[in-house]
Structure 1
Amino acid sequence: MMATGVLNPNHFPAQRAAKVVQHYLNTRYGLTHRWVELHRVHNATAEEVEGSGTKYHVELSVKEIISNTTERCSAEVLFPGGEHQGPPQVQASCEGLSKLNTTAPEDLYRQYSTGQNLVSAHNLPDSYGHIDPAMKPFWHLGGVASSFVMLKESNENTLYNMAQVANVTQLASEGNQLRFNYEVLLHDMVSQEITHWKLLVSLSPEEGVKVLQMEKVPKCHNCGAPPSTKS
């Protein structure tokens, strides 16, 4: 039985719902210069919705990690139950995120849209937790793109973080879209399982970040938890 009523903000049920909100906000507002992580859960409640699942009401703060600013948000998260199994349904109000760092994507887009030197990298971060400063935008983009997967895969028994960008390769642009093949490793903090995903990611000034394709790679029995950084 899942907990209902007033929840301890620091315990798993509230934190799990808040992490889902984090992933949802990244799918809405995320860019190479705008990537949010959960900062704090202020309060949370949960209720069973007959025939639908468990609904969480959460007041939280998220931190935009590039600018190191925090925003207060409120959200509802419904984890479908019974016959309605599927990704969580989220409604969130956090409008300050859309106003942060409005010029940065133009610079990055201009830098990589010529297609003369297609970028590629692997192991972000490396085994020492290091990321070359020039590659940090692609670590950020991988984090935002991973939120599309983590939102889709989340349920009441998971707590996902991106562990590593294993590989990123820029493809030829299509129209005004930069396109990248990503391979990312995701870490479920509950089961301690590392899952490997292949993503086709697009970036454009008009549409922001989109994940056009996602594919789960068969389980790697030798994969450990890579080092992780949020800077």
Structure 2
Amino acid sequence: METGELNPNHYPAQRAAKVVQHYLNTRYGSPHKLFGLQSVHSGNAEDLADSGRKYQLEISVQEMIGNTTVKCSAEVLFPRGEPQRSAQVQASCEELLKINTTAQEEAWYQQHQKNQGLLSVQNLPDSYGHIEPDMKPLWHLCIVASSFVMLNESTENTLYNVAQVANVTQLATQNDQLKFDCHILLHEMVSQEIIQWKLLFTWSPPGGVKMLQMEQLPHRCEKPPNTN
């Protein structure tokens, strides 16, 4: 792996920046707020010997639902050693805090907290890449939950995207959290593997996504139906 100044368009900088995207989704993502990497402006890598490698990045991140772009400064440390530890991320993106989706979050929450019929959906998107408009907030929420896995699993040699939500089911709960069981397919673009994960998580507007369980399932090696 090269050190010093990086080409923003090459894999080392892009992979580290993608980890920042996953981190931001775990911190700020919701059914109406989803972040994607737009571009890397500059990057620098430093070898910290036994500790790992540290990347310093200047990036632009797009809030994809409202189509708002903000600039962020971030630091990503990929630790060395066994067992593999997840990347450590620090990011300064004050402009993200100004994106206000409170009304939309509360309306969606109230709709599904009071709904007598619990949600249960398969194949988001379907084999044609289509998602019904009223299912898009649920799709966004599952991508946010998937970011917990991708943040935890990412290394300098991986590049993850969500291929599909195979199924997601809302579960009954006795508290004020919406609870979901979700089966996701991740596309690891370096190995071209489709990796299955089963997630159990909760969400509420004030609490955000809380991951209760992440379980990797047996691999699939077929081409993903769609990549986002």
Same fold (TM over 0.5): yes
1:50 Cα deviation after fit:
2.6
What does the per-residue CA deviation read over 1:161-188, in whole Å, with 9 as the maximum and x for residues that have no partner? 1111100111002310000110100011
CA distance in 2 between counterparts of 1:156 and 1:6 reads 16
* Match in the other structure for 2:89: 90
* Match in the other structure for 2:174: 174
1:83 Cα deviation after fit:
4.9
In structure 1, list runs of 5 or more residues that go unmatched: none
AA of the residue aligned to 2:97: S
* Matched-pair identity in %: 62
CA distance in 2 between counterparts of 1:83 and 1:199 reads 25
AA of the residue aligned to 1:177: Q
CA distance in 2 between counterparts of 1:192 and 1:218 reads 15
1:115 Cα deviation after fit:
4.1
**What RMSD, in angstroms, separates the aligned Cα atoms of the two structures?**
1.2
CA distance in 2 between counterparts of 1:169 and 1:123 reads 12
Moved more, 196-205 or 145-154: 196-205
* Match in the other structure for 2:75: 76
CA distance in 2 between counterparts of 1:50 and 1:220 reads 36
AA of the residue aligned to 1:7: L
Query: TM-score with structure 1 length normalisation?
Result: 0.95
SS of aligned partner of 1:23:
helix
AA of the residue aligned to 1:128: Y
Moved more, 74-83 or 60-69: 74-83
Distance 1:99 1:150, change over 3 A: same
1:104 Cα deviation after fit:
1.3
In structure 2, list runs of 5 or more residues that go unmatched: none
Query: TM-score with structure 2 length normalisation?
Result: 0.96
Partners of 1:125 and 1:228 within 8 A in 2: no
CA distance in 1 between counterparts of 2:210 and 2:28 reads 11
* Match in the other structure for 1:104: 104
> Does residue 131 of structure 1 match 2:140?
no
